[in-house]
Structure 1
Amino acid sequence: MPDDDPADVIGDVLRQGQISVTGRLSDASNLTLLGTATLDGASVDCIYKPVRGERPLWDFPDGTLAERELAAYLVSAAAGWDCVPLTIIRDGPYGPGMVQRWIADCDPDLMVDLVPIRKVPDGWLPVMRAVDVTGNDVAVVHADNPALAVLAGFDVVVNNADRKGSHVLPTPDGKILGVDHGLCFHQDDKLRTILWGWAGKPLPGAVLDGLARLHRELDGTLGEQLDELITTTEMAALHRRIERLTTTKKYPTPPGHRTPIPWPPL
């Protein structure tokens, strides 16, 4: 194994290593297995979601969630946002599926929280108001964090229909990663997210820079890769979302005709 570039080592192990299943995430709606990929003495913990374990959905074609997870990673990488852990599709103990690097060293500080309505912390943005089981007014809030704002922009681009608070992973080096992107890239507006705190506000420079990169990359390798993973109609919708964001330079506002929040939100 090469030892000069840890990222290359991790990629090689995930792509070529033998996967041993060590556990299961029981709260996931689809079969989601925790495992370890091992190659030449090196090992990488990973999440493995076999296609055969995908639960049928009424609005997404059967057997396509792994491809959507990979497409989301490719968009994140091409835009320079790097907000999705390394993701591939390969064979495993239960057949082909999505394999993603497991992020274990998450910062314990939450990026999304539920707080009393009158105690929204400084530097946090309210998303929605609710009533808890005891009848007290509470608010769902998220941090006003630049890295989280990039993740929110990424979600708009990929049309993420399931950005829960538990899918947001802050790391000790200041990055914020998003996981669980099987419900992305639908041709219809499906954006359901807990990150509405910036609704209607200007996009930050990091998001705009990524949009410019995507404009270029979709005409090259990225476009060729996505053509193998999502439909022609979904690809056209992706182009329209990027064009709209580039023109408005603002985060969208929540739709009024459907729920804009995933369930459960946290």
Structure 2
Amino acid sequence: MIAGITTGYEAEFDFPAWAGPPRLPWLLASLPRAGSTWFSHELWATGCLGAPLEYLNFEPGGPWGHASGRPDEQARLWRQALATRTSPNGAFGLKAFPGQLHHVQRGNPALVAEVMRLLLGPAAPRKVVELRRRDRQAHAVSYARALLSGVWRAEQEREGREEPEFSSLAVERAMAMLDQQQAGWQAMYADLGVVPLLLWFEDALADPAGALAQVADHLGTRLDPAARVAVPPIRRQAQDGARDWLGRLGG
């Protein structure tokens, strides 16, 4: 958990307990700062697509940072998520970034193997939804600013952290990091023969209902308006600083 911030990982947002493996496990594959937090909550609110949050984010400062370096606790949290974040129709979503998978792989390869068997193993549905951001320069600026400032959520802006100093080099490095992570997803798809549903953040933001319908169709399930659940709202971060950086870059 993140102190003072409602993140959605709290027990009050759990679905009713689910016994056994989910019937429809799926992966929301994305990159940092691609709008995946907002979209994951939109998916979750349907009550029919699981609650695709970052259940493998054990990095310090992350939602389950207390489990960093503790493989047994990581495995417990993962199995707890399976039991409490599978929606009543049997759908379970995991949102992940390549960097998170690499981080867990270094310290807990057995857990990564277990996750991959569930999501993409020979007997799995092998359903992947990929969310990307079309405006690569804006994406890199957002990532660079978050890396420099440590501000990843709107709630953190209230803490009075200083605006990061403009750096074109930081943007270049952020672009290279994003490209490297994107290449990681593409390599995984090729290795496993997976064809993801590709969605663009900008299109999902313009037509959320249409994007949710595409996901449901890809997963082979349906959306039931009566199944909707309340989830924590996602506030958009202030955009003035990002616009200033884009202006300096000529974007």
Under a length normalisation based on structure 1, what TM-score does the superposition of the two structures give? 0.25
Larger strand proportion of the pair: 1
Larger helix proportion of the pair: 2
Considering Cα pairs closer than 8 Å and 6+ residues apart, tell me whether 1 or 2 has the greater RCO: 2
Under a length normalisation based on structure 2, what TM-score does the superposition of the two structures give? 0.26
Of the two, which has the highest radius of gyration?
1
